[in-house]
Amino acid sequence: MSFLEESRPIILAAGGTGGHIYPAISVARALIKRTRNIAIITDDRGKLFSQYDLNTDIHYIKASSPSGGLLQKLIGLGLLGAGFVQARSILKKIQAVAVIGFGGYPSVPTMCAAAQIGLPTIIHEQNAVMGRANRFLAPTVKKIAVSYDQVKGISPKAISKVIQTGNPVREEISEIRDKVYTALDPKGKLNVLVFGGSQGAQILSKVVPSAIAALPKNKRSRVIVTQQCHPGDIDVVKSLYKTANIQSDLRPYFNDMPDRLSGASLVISRAGASTISELIAAKRPAILVPYPHATDDHQTANAVAITSSSAGWCMSEDKFTIERLKLKIQQLMENPSLLNDAADNIKNLYKLNAAETLADILENTIHKRANSGAVT
């Protein structure tokens, strides 16, 4: 590869939720360590990138999901079209050498523009069900990187492009796996971490406090709870824990989530892609409550990847009741070996160095193109 090729930036296209953005940040860091030039193209929801010291250019384009009623679809398609024009102009101006997309509609304009220009393109799928944006892009990309060995929604024609890399996680999370996991702390207490997305899941605020409060006194006195709550739920949840004399720390958001996860013996959470990957990386057993309205029910599919390996437990939202959760927590406290076994099993799902693997794939794709003599 010539010096000119190496100096051209690799583009990371991602936006929307943290589930798409966090893997992109991990790959960005891996490429930066290799002294590769990178740039990020995202939409207005991708401001999360600016919170990380990547020291790179971030370009914002128009994007939207073409869903809803006819008017909403037309507006969405119009924004995607505008984003395509913007992305194409950016890619040509900065002389991009390759593009990797991390799913979600904010990645679509950039990936389409890259394919139209003739740049090497790769997509990464974080979930156990191929997202709609990635399904749309799959026919035109060179490689499809996936997180699981079984991913639904990939067409037979695209199977030859698939390579399993795992889902990149932040270094702060992957470092947790080096610490010894213990189901109960030296005083026999169970440290429970509860979270449900950027603003907390209300179902968790309704069920978890009452379930723990319903435990026999000799059990609930040994539970310590760290819980992310929706701001409107905190006072009620705090009152429930206080009345039951349960030690708790409640906040709308935890800026130190890696530390919280490190100290947890049991996690109770939704089953989004980033959550699952971080649980696997940190080898923390969990009770998963998939969000029932997720696109293509992908959170249930994510949870199955855990439960099928005996690495955790899943409760559908309609069966996530106070009584069922109380009984499950009680069972785990009475049989801590179940937690230890789940932690042992979940570590076997971990794909080491997923970010480095994706960086390798990008480098190899660029090398092959350069050696073929193709020019863009």
CA-closest candidate to residue 228, choices 259, 256, 197 = 197
Identify the pLDDT of residue 4. 56
- CB distance 146 to 303 below 8 Å: no
**Which domains are seen in the chain, by residue range?**
3-167+352-372 (3.40.50.2000), 173-347 (3.40.50.2000)
10-residue stretch averages of pLDDT, the chain, 376 residues long: 72 88 94 95 86 89 86 89 96 96 93 96 95 94 93 93 93 88 87 78 92 96 94 92 96 90 96 91 95 89 92 96 97 96 90 91 88 65
Strands 121-125 and 143-146: parallel
φ, ψ at 193 (rounded to 5°): -110, 125
